[in-house]
Amino acid sequence: MTGKEKTSGQLKKGEIVLATVESLAPGGDGVTRERGMPIFISRVAVGDRVELQVFDVRKDFARGRLLRVLDASPERVEPPCKLFKVCGGCQWQHIEYRSQLKAKERILQQTLKHLAGLDPQLVKPAIGAEGPLFYRNKVQFPVQHPRGSERLLAGYYKQDSHELVNIKHCPVQPEPLDRLLEAVKTFCEKHSIEAYDETTRTGLLRHIAARYSFDRRAILVTLVVNSAPEQVPSQRVKQRPASPVDLLKMTEIAQALMEKVPEIAGVCLNYNPHEGNRIMGDITISLAGQPYVIEKIATDRSDLPVRLRQGMEFKLSPTSFFQVNTAQTVKLMEQILDAVMAQPARFKTELPLVVDAYAGVGAIALWLAPIARQVIAVEEHPAAVDDGLLNLELNRIENVDFRLGMVESVFPQLLSEGLVPDVLVVDPPRKGLSQESLESIVKLAVERIVYVSCNPATLARDLKFFGRNGYKTKQIQPVDMFPQTYHIESVTLLERQT
C-alpha cells in the first residue's frame, strides 16, 4: 500500500481539510484529489485554495462542505445575486463567465472520452451568451408558509434540501418577473390562499409559473393548485380529496394581477391533485386575458434564408415545451441547421427530407422548413402536437407534417410509406434515447443524424451505441443555454459509414 492510498483511507467524516480545487465536475461541484481520492465541494472555482469539512465518505469519493476560501482563484467573481450562497437555483454565479464556458467544454470532453471513447477534440468551443443574465423566459416557483405564519414564500429550494429560499429579485430572469412574483404573493396573501404542504397534502397553491415573451414583452402567469376540476371523476384522483378552488376568488386575483403588472397578457389555473414532484397537471383553464404568449426567434445571419431572418413565431401555452433562453435558442437553431446542411452540394438539385423526432411544439421543424422539401415532426404528446399545428398556421408553413406517436412506432410507418429521410434530428429529454428508439433509428438507415442533447452522460451512451452500429461522430458543438449553471446543451453531427 502506498502512502497516498493510506492517506485516503484515513479520511474521516467531520475532518477539516485544506485543499486546492483542481476541476469542476458534472453537477457543478469542484473536485480536489489532494488526499488521494476525489472530494467534491460546491460553490468553489478551479484554483481556489479552500478549507473544507468532510461530511460524507464513500468507498471511492467523499463530499466536503466549504468553510472558507483561503486564496481565491482568478476565475472567482462576486455573484450578482445576494442569495447565491443559499439558493440552489444557480451553481456557478461565482465563476467568471468565460471560465464557465471552458468548464462546460471540459466536462463534455471528459464525459464523451470516458463513457464513449470519443476524441475530446471533436468538441468545439462552446458558443456563449451575449447576455448571461436576465435570460430565462420561463420560471416555476414552489410556495410555502413559514412555520406558524400565513405569509407566503415563493422561490427556489436551498441546495440539497426542501427548505425554500424566498426570492424577490433574481438576476437570471427579466425584471418584470420579479414584479410579477411579488404581486402574486401579495394578492394570494390578501385573499388567504393557503400554500400547499407536501407532507400533509393540504393547502391550495402549489406553484407559481410564468412564461415571458422577449419579443412581445408579455407574461403568461399560471397558478398551479392542489385540486381537480369538478367535471373530473373522483376515481381518477387516488389520494385524499384535494382542496376545492373558489374560482371567483382566483379570478379576482387574476384580474388584480393584470392591473398591477401591465406586462401580464393572461392568467391561467392549472389543476394538479397528484402526489409527487410533478409541477403541472393535465388540465388548465384561463382565468383572465389570453391563455398563451407569442415568442419570436429570428437570425441575423445573412447566409440563412430570408424567412429565418424575418423570424418564426410560436404560440406558447402554460405546458408548452420551449427552450428557456430565447436569445440562445437562435444560436442553437443555427447550429442545427448548419449540421443538417453540412454537405450542401448534395441538396442543390433536391432539398432534403428531414425528420424531427421529439418535436415538441415544432420549433426545430419550423426552423428547418425553409431549407427542406418536407419536415416530418414526430411527437408523442397530443397537447404538443396541437400546439405545433397552431404554430404551423401562425407561420403559414405548409411543408411540415406532424405525426403523433412514439419514435419506435412512427419510424416503421415511415419506412412502410417509402419515406427514408436524408437527415434525422433528435432532441430527446435528459434521459436520452430509449433502447427501442435507438434500434428504430438504426433500422431507418438515415445517412445523417443531428443529436441535440442536454445531458452529456446520456449523449455519450447513445453515441457509443451509434458508433457500434455504423455511425461516426463528426463533431459536437456546445451551446450555452443555461449561463450561471452547470447544465450543458450540445449539437452533435453523426454520419453513416458506407
Contact 19, 32 (CB under 8 A): yes
Look at residue 4 in the predicted model and tell me its pLDDT.
39
Under the banding of pLDDT at 50, 70 and 90, the label for residue 231 is very low
pLDDT at 199: 86
Query: What domains appear along the chain, each with residue ranges and CATH number?
Result: 3-76 (2.40.50.140), 105-130+324-496 (3.40.50.150), 138-291 (2.40.50.1070)
Question: How confident is the model at residue 206, as a pLDDT?
Answer: 96
Question: Among 87, 170, 268, 454, which one carries the catalytic annotation?
Answer: 454
Quote the CA–CA distance of 346 and 423 in Å, as a whole number: 12
**CB-CB neighbours of 256 under 10 Å:** 18
Instruction: Give the separation between CA 215 and CA 231, rounded to whole angstroms.
Output: 37
pLDDT for residue 64: 95
Which grid cell is 392?
A: 404551423
- Looking only at the bridges linking them, the beta strands covering 62-71 and 39-41 are parallel
Q: What percent of the chain is modeled with pLDDT above 90? A: 84
In 3D, which of 223, 310, 321, 306 has the Cα closest to residue 264?
223
Looking at every residue in the chain, the average pLDDT score rounds to 92
**Phi and psi torsions of 317, nearest 5°:** -90, 175
pLDDT value, residue 276: 83
- For cell 431507418, the residue is 444
The pLDDT assigned to 345 comes to: 58
Total-model pTM:
0.91
Q: Model confidence over 270-294: pLDDT tens digits?
A: 999 998 888 999 999 999 999 999 9
Least confident of 156-160, 287-291, 351-355, 362-366: 156-160
Query: In a 10 Å sphere around its CB, with 0-12 CB exposed, 13-18 middle and 19+ buried, how is residue 222 labelled?
Result: buried
C-alpha cell at 104: 462546460
C-alpha cell at 415: 419506412
Q: Residue 52: pLDDT above 70?
A: yes
Residue 51's φ and ψ, nearest 5 degrees, are -110, 125
Q: What's the chain look like in SS3?
A: CCHHHHHHHCCCCCCEEEEECCEECCCCCEEECCCCCCEEECCCCCCCEEEEEEEEECCCCEEEEEEEEEECCCCECCCCCCCCCCECCCCCCCECHHHHHHHHHHHHHHHHHHHHCCCHHHECCCECCCCCCCCECEEEEEEECCCCCCCCEEEEEECCCCCEEECCCCCCCCHHHHHHHHHHHHHHHHCCCCECECCCCECCEEEEEEEEECCCCEEEEEEEECCCCCCCCHHHCCCCCCCCCCHHHHHHHHHHHHHHCCCEEEEEEEECCCCCCCCCCCEEEEEEECCCEEEEECCCCCCCCHHHHHCEEEEECCCCCCCCEHHHHHHHHHHHHHHHCCCHHHHCCCCCEEEEECCCCCHHHHHHHHHCCEEEEEECCHHHHHHHHHHHHHHCCCCEEEEECCHHHHHHHHHHCCCCCCEEEECCCCCCCCHHHHHHHHHHCCCEEEEEECCHHHHHHHHHHHHHCCEEEEEEEEECCCCCCCCCEEEEEEEECC
Grid coordinates representing 498 are: 458506407
Inter-helix orientation angle 407-416/435-444, to 10°: 20
Condensed to tens digits (0 to 9), the pLDDT of residues 183-223 reads 999 999 999 999 998 888 899 999 999 999 999 999 999 99
In DSSP terms, which residues pair with 406 in a beta bridge?
none
Can 454 be counted among the known catalytic residues?
A: yes
